[in-house]
């Protein structure tokens, strides 16, 4: 792999300063890039998928808030460097919103979750096989070279939010819970800090699949803030995969249900394994909201969620599976005894 | 010795569950695998693989790569041409494709250069900077691709000279009352041993030493020498521990001689570790097979006609044959048999052996058909097999040397609780989970091969067993120590075993499940020769407690030579011998091997006496039962329970035997539900090139796996009475799972792996 300089930042400012000057390109193509847990970064550097000449390690930044889980009465604030396993193990979060820790528990392996940070997790890059092996043409890795997956072996690829340029799946689990809860992301920048909705962080591939987020190279995620409604205690993350553990989702869903007897007062649905970015199934929520819950209604919601699906040769099953996953999760959260 | 599930209590004709002699070293990370051996002044090699599957290399642009600091050498076909003899396809060689021997590309990921650098990082960076101009041609990927060529296996293969048949299939099939006509498919599999493939080569003057994980040190030594055009005696191959092999380290691949050549050019040791991704294209694999089975039976369940046609993918130049019809054609008491195997030539690497190469795909097809036939007959699948159990083989009418298939079925069925199965499809449920149960036969030929061994016994009761066999993780070192200890009357801790080095007496390739049978037969023979020497010295001595006895009546026990009423310590017996050490070199040549079999072994040529050879059929058998659970909505498939009962003649060590069989069944689950090498059909290139995307089960997938060892004594198979268990366990499992999936859902999935995709809707 490309020889690179490795540096450790002790303040956020220092980290950002090092990454200034390359602001015109997406962070994943910049010469200077951040490394947190490194579980995605080091892997993709070794594969040659990303080739920074300068790595800025943000793990030792002194600001304690980056490593803190703050539980407020309305909001949960998760520092960017909090490890996946810390949230997974958090009793209070689990009590208030089970789908958050559940989405982490079924991701990767415990060893990886001990290393990986929450910010790194939401920014993980696709596992598209054609993207990971650099000898294939790939619009995301090498803009304009073509998409090998489109007419290739595309069993794991997305059916929602895809474009003619790229059908790669966003594989993260945690992000589905975050998007369902309409979380907020705190970003530190060279000039000013900003807060954006988590739903605005990731970009669908469109004509420029190489641009994956709205972040600039000299911006750093510092925290994720989630306002957790009381009824999120009735929530669940369901992940369907080819084996029992240590596999990415073929389809997954983060579901929270607010019930008044049998009437759906409110509902939140995130869908994983099927879309190009973290995916909120708004049309499905609309079908359910205000109605009397039934299996039939759940099926209608699932149909709505996938109404715009664009399956390819090998991933057509994801439409049926995605629907079944959502119906199953809805049925199961309805049955939860609180 | 305490027993536990991991160390089952020995039943009749079974050895003690001695713990692995190298277990402690391995769990402490102290067992040095070939790429761990410290070597001074090492240079690092990295392969560069082609990005196309067919065509020619027009130009390799190396300037940028040479410019990387630390790069020492880059070998391309310009350097190899004429320096190396091309590889050969045969028992020691995996393929005749010389990847760097000219500019031709035969398959995806073919080696097109070898970068040597001071560090692996520099080698990696240089490799990434090499660009290639290809002259590309349209490749053929697999069955159904344009441009493939189909040939009858029997017409092109030296190993597979005829398709077995018996009786008049057509007439019997036409006349039968109940028939099925079905097709099955097994996809491409890669072995993916956890230990990576590697070569470490260095020259001391004219002498070459190669450290590489291999299942065949002698065969490789001769082949390396041939390719490098030097005398075999100048090559030493060392492979003391092998971190998983499964056949992948059996035949040599062309990399080894190329790395040795690089070390010679550089005058420096070179180590080349193949990346996981490259191992999908530069190593061997199990190619995909297709099967067409026609079966007919009378209403009482007797099979009257059986036809099995197989299609197997191979490379353009090499006719590698799987040919499992030789086993499926003999398994049951069919009235008539017709078989035919075809090879389909594609632009892919030459496939090769993978754990139960012939039986895994072919028995998968047959046992699926058996289940479908049982359903068609409305018969219990176990009873259907009982009705068709055979005492002689359907092809030549030879008796089986022993056959405990139905004992296996009965013991496994009882442990599994088969009688509680409701045969009605879709009738068993646990909440949202559909339950299915299925079973299948496991079978593997009991092969044996010539083997030489040197056993050294010292007068202080220490012994050393030396033979160039291979510890691929099966426990052969443990079994060898245990057996020598038993026959020499010593505690196993007094016996040291050395294997995996061409300086030791030759042993056969560790393949075909023949190792325990071959090595143990040689050890038994050598120990008997030692006993006889000691006995003769003791009974012919002028004095001493054993003087004048019948030499046949004295045995070695607890460090003494023992007769019925007297005994003598080894130390004193050795005084009669007149030396402090006995060094016994012994050759074992199985019945049916040629008189030159052992001297051929020294030449790297092996004669495997297969289970079908001779006047009896020698097979090991088993029966496997599985339970699957399938979610009624999302259709994920889980396997909570597997029970397998197996008979394999003498069981040398119940612990290592169980471990082999358990691992086999787990691999069976893997082949049923997880494993498949996926191709990009446009380009004949592998898409899933790592363990993220080439799925094997994780711990959480494997729940209750029970192994039953069924007692069996077979004095016909070989001196040790051993049938071999290494490849038995993974035969049949996938069919049992397919049957269980059918039982749960009513869906008969005939293409592996069985995935959610197949069961939705
Ligand atoms: C074998 C394996 C299996 C896996 N399975 C799953 C799974 O099932 N589900 C799942 O969700 N994930 C899975 N993952 C992905 C894993 O969760 C991610 O690799 C991990 O969360 C990344 O976190 P990290 O801290 O290691 O990030 P890094 O690798 O350090 O960084 C990832 C990216 O984020 C950027 N970055 C990191 N921190 C910041 C920051 N604060 N601000 C701006 N940019 C930043 C980096 O520059 C880089 O581009 C798996 C990974 C592996 C290796
Ligand atoms: S799907 Fe996207 S990431 Fe995958 S090959 Fe196509 S462009 Fe590249």
Residue A268: which CATH number?
A: 3.30.390.50
Which chain B residue's Cα is nearest to A137? B51
Of A3, A46, A321, the CB nearest to B634: A321
Assess contact for B379 and B415: CB atoms under 8 A.
Answer: no
Assess contact for B395 and B339: CB atoms under 8 A.
Answer: no
The answer to whether residue A220 is domain-embedded is no
Which of B699, B700, B696, B702 lies closest to B675 in space, CA to CA?
A: B696
Helix count and strand count (H, E) for chain B = 20, 30
Q: Which of A38, A108, A196, A271 gets mutated to test ligand 1 (max ligand atoms within 8 A of its CB)?
A: A108
H or E segment and range at residue B222: helix B217-228
Residue B91's pLDDT band (cuts 50, 70, 90)? confident
Residues constituting chain B = 761
Query: Exposure string (b/e) for B499-519, b if CB count within 10 Å is 16 or more?
Result: bbebebbbbbbbbbbbbbbbb
Assess contact for A108 and A247: CB atoms under 8 A.
Answer: no
Query: Exposure string (b/e) for A282-300, b if CB count within 10 Å is 16 or more?
Result: eebbebbeeeebeeebbbb
Structure tokens of A273?
């394994």
DSSP state at residue A8: E
The answer to whether residue A246 is domain-embedded is yes
Helix count and strand count (H, E) for chain A = 12, 12
Q: What is the pLDDT of residues B24-82, one digit of tens each?
A: 999 999 999 999 999 999 999 999 999 999 999 999 999 999 999 999 999 999 999 88
Interface contact B636-A129, CB threshold 8 A: no
Q: What is the pLDDT of residues B592-620, one digit of tens each?
A: 999 999 999 999 998 999 999 999 999 99
| Number of separate domains in chain A | 2
Is residue B1's pLDDT more than 60? no
Assess contact for B648 and B620: CB atoms under 8 A.
Answer: yes
Distance between CA atoms of residues B370 and B365, nearest Å: 9
Assess contact for A172 and A107: CB atoms under 8 A.
Answer: yes
Q: Say how far residue A83 (Cα) sits from the centre of its chain.
A: 15
Known catalytic residue at B727 = yes
Distance between CA atoms of residues A114 and A37, nearest Å: 9
H or E segment and range at residue A35: strand A32-35
Please state the rounded mean pLDDT for residues B404-431. Answer: 98
Q: Ligand 2: does its nearest atom lie under 6 Å from the Cβ of A126? A: yes
Is residue B317's pLDDT more than 70? yes
The answer to whether residue A134 is domain-embedded is no
Q: What is the pLDDT of residues B626-669, one digit of tens each?
A: 999 999 999 999 999 999 999 999 999 999 999 999 999 999 99
Distance between CA atoms of residues B503 and B594, nearest Å: 24
pTM beyond cutoff 0.80: yes
- Residue A19 is predicted with a pLDDT of 85
Of B635, B681, B697, the CB nearest to A243: B697
- Residue A338 is predicted with a pLDDT of 86
Taking the Cβ of residue A328 and every Cβ of chain B, the question of whether any pair is shorter than 8 Å is answered with yes
Q: What is the pLDDT of residues B701-715, one digit of tens each?
A: 999 999 999 999 999
Strand partners, A264: A259
Taking the Cβ of residue A241 and every Cβ of chain B, the question of whether any pair is shorter than 8 Å is answered with yes
Residue span of the structural domain in which A251 resides: 235-333
Q: DSSP letters along B621-668, please?
A: EEEEEEEEEEETTT--EEEEEEEEEEE-BSBS-HHHHHHHHHHHHHHH
**Dihedral (CA of B735, B738, B744, B747) sign:** negative
Taking the Cβ of residue B275 and every Cβ of chain A, the question of whether any pair is shorter than 8 Å is answered with no
Answer with the one of A13, A28, A56 that is the final residue of a domain: A56
Distances (CA, A) of B533 to B402, B527, B529, B574: 34, 10, 6, 10
Taking the Cβ of residue A325 and every Cβ of chain B, the question of whether any pair is shorter than 8 Å is answered with yes
Walk me through the domains of chain B, giving residue ranges and CATH numbers: 1-30+381-447+611-761 (3.30.365.10), 34-138+197-283 (3.30.365.10), 451-602 (3.30.365.10)
What string of pLDDT tens digits covers the 338 residues of chain A? 688 999 999 999 999 998 887 667 899 999 999 999 999 999 999 999 999 999 999 999 999 999 999 999 889 999 999 999 999 999 999 999 999 999 999 999 999 999 999 999 999 999 999 999 999 999 999 999 999 999 999 999 999 999 999 999 999 999 999 999 999 999 999 889 999 999 999 999 999 999 999 999 999 999 999 999 999 999 999 999 999 999 999 999 999 999 999 999 999 999 999 999 999 999 999 999 999 999 999 999 999 999 999 999 999 999 999 999 999 999 999 999 98
Distance between CA atoms of residues B743 and B737, nearest Å: 10
> If you search the block for the tokens 């268990």, which residue do you land on?
B725
- Residue B722 is predicted with a pLDDT of 98
Structure tokens of A160?
């929602």
- Residue A193 is predicted with a pLDDT of 95
Q: What is the pLDDT of residues B719-742, one digit of tens each?
A: 999 999 999 999 999 999 999 999
The answer to whether residue A23 is domain-embedded is yes
The answer to whether residue A81 is domain-embedded is no
Q: Ligand 1: does its nearest atom lie under 6 Å from the Cβ of A120? A: yes
Is residue B301's pLDDT more than 90? yes
Q: What percent of chain B is predicted at pLDDT more than 90?
A: 98
Angle at alpha carbon of residue B392, lines to B389 and B396, rounded to 5°: 130
Please state the rounded mean pLDDT for residues B675-699. Answer: 97
The answer to whether residue A124 is domain-embedded is no
- Residue A1 is predicted with a pLDDT of 66
Tally C-beta pairs within 8 A across A and B.
87
Q: What CATH code is carried by the domain that includes residue A28?
A: 3.30.43
DSSP state at residue B433: E
Of B51, B125, B681, the CB nearest to A2: B125
Interface contact A242-B695, CB threshold 8 A: yes
* Residue numbers in B near A315 (CB within 8 A): none
Residues of A numbered 110-169 whose beta carbons fall under 8 angstroms of chain B's beta carbons: which are they? 127, 129-130, 132-135, 148, 151-153, 155-156
- Residue A54 is predicted with a pLDDT of 95
Q: Say how far residue B138 (Cα) sits from the centre of its chain.
A: 34
- Residue A22 is predicted with a pLDDT of 66
- Residue B2 is predicted with a pLDDT of 61
The answer to whether residue A291 is domain-embedded is yes
Query: Exposure string (b/e) for A1-24, b if CB count within 10 Å is 16 or more?
Result: bbeeeeeebeebeebbebbeebee
The answer to whether residue A307 is domain-embedded is yes
- Residue B761 is predicted with a pLDDT of 77
* Residue numbers in A near B124 (CB within 8 A): 1, 46
- Residue A23 is predicted with a pLDDT of 64
Strands B43-49 and B428-430: unpaired
Assess contact for A15 and A56: CB atoms under 8 A.
Answer: yes
Q: What is the pLDDT of residues B144-165, one digit of tens each?
A: 999 999 999 999 999 899 999 9
Assess contact for B522 and B587: CB atoms under 8 A.
Answer: yes
Residue B492 three-state SS: helix
Interface contact B689-A133, CB threshold 8 A: yes
Angle at alpha carbon of residue B98, lines to B95 and B104, rounded to 5°: 120
């Amino acid at each position: 792999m490309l020889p690179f300089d490795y540096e450790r930042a002790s303040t956020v400012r220092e980290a950002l300063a090092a990454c200034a000057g390359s602001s015109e390109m997406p962070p994943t193509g910049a010469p200077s890039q951040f490394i947190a847990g490194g579980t995605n970064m080091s892997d993709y550097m070794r594969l040659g998928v990303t080739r920074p000449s300068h790595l800025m390690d943000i793990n030792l930044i002194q600001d304690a808030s980056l490593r803190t889980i703050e539980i407020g009465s309305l909001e949960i604030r998760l520092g960017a460097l909090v490890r996946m396993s810390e949230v997974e193990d958090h009793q209070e979060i689990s009590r208030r919103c089970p789908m958050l820790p559940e989405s982490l528990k079924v991701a990767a392996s415990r060893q990886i979750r001990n290393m990986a940070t929450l910010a790194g997790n939401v920014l993980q890059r696709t596992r598209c096989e054609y993207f990971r092996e650099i000898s294939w043409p790939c619009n995301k890795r090498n803009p304009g070279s073509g998409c090998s997956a489109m007419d290739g072996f595309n069993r794991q690829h997305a059916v929602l939010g895809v474009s003619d340029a790229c059908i790669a799946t966003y594989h993260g689990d945690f992000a589905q819970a975050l998007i369902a809860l309409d979380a907020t992301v705190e970003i530190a920048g060279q000039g000013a800090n900003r807060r954006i909705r988590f739903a605005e962080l990731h970009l669908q591939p469109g004509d420029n699949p190489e641009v994956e987020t709205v972040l600039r190279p000299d911006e750093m995620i510092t925290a994720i803030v989630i306002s957790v409604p009381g009824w999120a205690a009735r929530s669940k993350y369901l992940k369907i995969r080819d084996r029992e553990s240590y596999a990415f989702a073929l389809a997954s869903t983060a579901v929270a249900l607010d019930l008044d007897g049998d009437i759906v007062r409110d509902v939140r649905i995130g869908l994983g394994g099927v879309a190009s970015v973290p995916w909120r199934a708004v049309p499905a929520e609309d079908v359910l909201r205000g109605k009397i819950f039934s299996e039939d209604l759940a099926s209608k919601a699932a149909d709505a969620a996938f109404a715009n699906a664009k399956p390819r040769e090998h991933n057509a099953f994801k439409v049926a599976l995605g629907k079944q996953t959502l119906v199953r999760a809805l049925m199961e959260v309805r049955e939860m005894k609180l | 010795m305490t027993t536990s599930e991991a160390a089952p209590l020995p039943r009749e004709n079974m050895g003690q569950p001695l713990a692995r002699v190298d277990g402690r070293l391995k769990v402490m990370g102290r067992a040095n695998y070939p790429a761990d051996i410290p070597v001074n002044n090492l240079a690092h090699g990295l392969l560069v693989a082609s990005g196309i599957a067919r065509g020619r290399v027009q130009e390799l642009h190396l300037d940028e790569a040479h410019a990387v600091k630390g790069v020492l050498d880059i070998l391309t076909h310009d350097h190899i041409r004429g320096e190396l003899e091309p590889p050969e396809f045969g028992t020691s060689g995996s393929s005749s494709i010389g990847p760097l021997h000219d500019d031709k590309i035969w398959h995806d990921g073919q080696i097109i250069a070898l970068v040597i650098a001071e560090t692996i990082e520099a080698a990696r960076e240089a490799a990434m900077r090499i660009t290639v101009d290809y002259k590309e041609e349209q490749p053929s990927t697999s069955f159904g691709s344009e441009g493939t060529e189909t040939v009858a296996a029997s017409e092109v293969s030296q190993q597979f000279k005829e398709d077995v048949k018996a009786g008049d299939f057509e007439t019997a099939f036409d006349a039968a009352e109940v028939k099925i006509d079905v097709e099955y498919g097994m996809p491409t599999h890669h072995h993916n041993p956890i230990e990576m493939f590697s070569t470490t080569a260095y020259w001391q003057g004219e002498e070459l030493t190669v450290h590489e994980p291999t299942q065949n040190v002698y065969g490789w030594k001769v082949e390396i020498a041939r390719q490098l055009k030097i005398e075999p005696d100048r090559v030493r191959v060392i492979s003391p521990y092998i971190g998983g092999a499964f056949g992948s380290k059996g035949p040599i691949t062309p990399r080894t001689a190329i790395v040795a050549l690089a070390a010679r050019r550089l005058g420096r040791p070179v180590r080349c570790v193949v990346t996981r991704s490259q191992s999908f294209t530069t190593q061997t694999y199990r190619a995909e097979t297709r099967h067409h089975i026609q079966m007919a039976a009378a209403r009482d369940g007797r099979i009257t006609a059986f036809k099995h046609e197989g299609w197997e993918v191979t490379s353009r130049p090499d006719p590698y044959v799987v040919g499992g019809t030789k086993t499926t054609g003999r398994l049951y008491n069919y009235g008539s048999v017709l078989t035919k195997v075809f090879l389909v030539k594609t632009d892919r690497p030459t496939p090769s052996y993978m754990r139960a190469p012939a039986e895994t795909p072919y028995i998968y097809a047959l046992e699926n058909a058996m289940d479908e036939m049982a359903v068609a007959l409305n018969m219990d699948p176990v009873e259907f097999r009982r009705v068709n159990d055979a005492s002689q083989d359907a092809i030549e009418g030879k008796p089986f040397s022993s056959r405990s298939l139905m004992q296996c079925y009965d013991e496994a069925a009882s442990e599994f609780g088969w009688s509680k199965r409701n045969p009605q499809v879709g009738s068993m449920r646990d909440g949202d989970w559909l339950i299915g149960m299925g079973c299948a036969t496991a079978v593997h030929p009991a092969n044996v091969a010539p083997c030489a061994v040197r056993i050294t016994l010292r007068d202080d009761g220490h012994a050393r067993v030396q033979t160039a066999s291979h510890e691929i993780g099966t426990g052969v070192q443990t079994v060898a120590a245990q057996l020598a200890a038993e026959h020499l009357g010593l505690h196993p801790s007094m016996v040291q075993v050395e294997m995996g080095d061409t300086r030791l007496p030759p042993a056969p390739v560790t393949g075909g499940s023949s190792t325990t049978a071959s090595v143990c037969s040689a050890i038994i023979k050598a120990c008997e020769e030692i006993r006889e020497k000691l006995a003769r010295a003791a009974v012919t001595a002028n004095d001493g407690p054993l003087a004048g006895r019948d030499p046949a009546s004295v045995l070695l026990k607890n460090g003494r030579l023992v007769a019925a009423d007297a005994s003598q310590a080894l130390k004193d017996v050795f005084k009669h011998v007149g030396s402090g050490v006995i060094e016994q070199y012994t050759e074992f040549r199985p019945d049916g091997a040629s008189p030159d079999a052992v001297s051929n072994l020294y030449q790297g040529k092996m004669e495997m006496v297969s289970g079908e050879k001779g006047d009896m059929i020698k097979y090991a058998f088993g029966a496997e039962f599985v339970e699957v659970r399938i979610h009624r909505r999302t259709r994920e498939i889980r396997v909570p329970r597997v029970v397998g009962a197996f008979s394999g003649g003498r069981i040398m060590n119940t612990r290592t035997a169980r471990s082999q069989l358990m691992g086999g069944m787990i691999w069976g689950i893997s082949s049923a539900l997880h494993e498949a090498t996926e191709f990009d059909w446009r380009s004949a290139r592998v898409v899933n090139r790592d363990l993220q995307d080439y799925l094997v089960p994780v711990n959480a997938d494997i729940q209750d796996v029970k192994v039953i060892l069924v007692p069996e004594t077979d004095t016909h198979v070989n001196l040790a009475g051993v049938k071999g268990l290494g490849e038995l366990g993974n035969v049949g499992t996938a069919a049992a799972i397919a049957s269980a999936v059918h039982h749960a859902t009513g869906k008969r999935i005939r293409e592996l792996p069985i995935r959610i995709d197949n069961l939705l809707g």
